[in-house]
Structure 1
Amino acid sequence: MFAKNGVEMLSICKRENLSIWEYTLKCEIEETGNSEEKIIYKMKRNLDVMKESSEYALKNNVKSISGLIGGDAKKLYEYSKGNNSLTGSFMVMAMARAISCSEVNATMGRIVAAPTAGSCGILPAVVISAGEKLNKDDNDLINALFTAAGVGNLIAQNASLSGAEGGCQAECGSAAAMGAAAVVEMMGGTPEMALDAAAIVIKNILGLVCDPIAGLVEVPCAKRNIAGAVSALTTADLVMSGVKSVIPFDDAVLAMHKVGKQLPCELKETALGGLAATPTGVKLKNLILGTFK
């Protein structure tokens, strides 16, 4: 049985000298009865889909049926080739990959909901971009996905991964926390450091509402995937420098759970509040829904 919280998981990892990815893989083997080879193969398939969705919109013109999003990943990709960016080609490419996944999702393409379709671009962008920068191979990326899965498991047990239940903090926030933890272990950080990174990401995104225009997982969702990817990558560097989280992971998750419960229904994927209720949001909704009458 998987640990019920971060403290329990860290205790087991310390006692058995395991990383989070090793612990997660071990639990999956015990729970499913599948072989290590079969489980790793399934995760490799997830990685393959992540690679495809994070690259497709970089070089192909895509447009969602609503017309709300499409083409931004390609713009970022082209921009990354120049020397004008403030954050450098690494970060711009991570941003491009994040929104590529969102654009593929919005055009009914195949993505990995990690942990949800609305946040599908964050983990692929973070893990693939970090792996490229650190010269990691597919085995390392697969291990990073197991780290992310372990952290996501803890969040799911103690809060929520659903925008309808906890706001976008539960979707993009959880995905970014998972990504930050994954990159920290990829960089040689300890399980404690990985959970510190996840906690910091969650603290910085507490209260993020879910307010999709016209109820579609497009605006502002796609650009929030970019923000989540940037947050995960910068937080990984923050923690690897030696910075710790004053608020521990379990407390951060508890706060996210409570904040999600306190958010009114208008701010939890109903498209009745936030950006969806602005004059432009309402205008776009009427325009989009009117085309289907």
Structure 2
Amino acid sequence: MLFGSIEAGGTKFVCAVGNENYQIKESTTFPTTQPQATLDQAINFFQQFPDLKAIGIASFGPIEIRKNSNNYGYVTNTPKPGWSNTDFVGYIKKSLNLPIYWTTDVNGSAYGEWFAYQQQQQPLNSLVYYTIGTGIGAGIVNDGKFIGSIGHPELGHVYLKRHPDDRDFSGICPFHGDCLEGLASGPTFKARLGIAGQDVPLSNHVWDIIAYYVAQAAIQTTLAFRPEKIVIGGGVASETFLEKVRLQFKQLLNDYVSVGDLKQYIVMPIVANNGSATIGDFALAQKALTE
């Protein structure tokens, strides 16, 4: 039995086919260009597998997740040029006619991490997954289900207390300026320093400023949802960076509630090679088939 995964990012699509043990049998990656051309590439890939039973799609957004909406399955008012009001699910179904589980990119990653913990005999009831890269988003899994009904969480756009050394930076979010994404996403390094984040040494003070903002997001998540674990992935994340986040988190939370060992609470993904969304999509595809 084969399941499909589409990890639809604003920069690239990662399509994969895996078996019932969630082992990848084949995958392909290609740039996210215009909707029809990009979706046709995905369809052409999956048409090679006549035994495919269902597909999980984890897409950049915002997206419409309400099944009773006329626009269910659409990418809605995204800033990605050309993709606003794209009927993603409908276009795929016309060619493949398979059960599809439709969710956000971060939900797919959150579910993949949650599922991986279950598979490793470390069962969790709840988990929050943040991706910090070109943008910032978060998915929340509680009791095996996603949080969000009339829409998906947009935790990348919460407002924060400004770092005292960062008050002159206006932020880069086109909607809110200095929300979490506007202050702590990958492109903010270049906006502040003129060089890309991967070229900024971790000794640079900007990393402490970013950690201050990410720690605040983790505190908001902790107090609002009380998850068992917060996973932080994406291009900005590293174990060294998370040490900075944990330090800021401890200082800012000031032991108000107990979260246990911070090294076990705020963690890197356990699925290797940024594969959380693919594993999550396989599991969600199987869920779509059984539901």
Task: Tell me the TM-score normalised to structure 1 length.
Answer: 0.26
Larger relative strand fraction? 2
Larger relative helix fraction? 1
Task: Tell me the TM-score normalised to structure 2 length.
Answer: 0.26
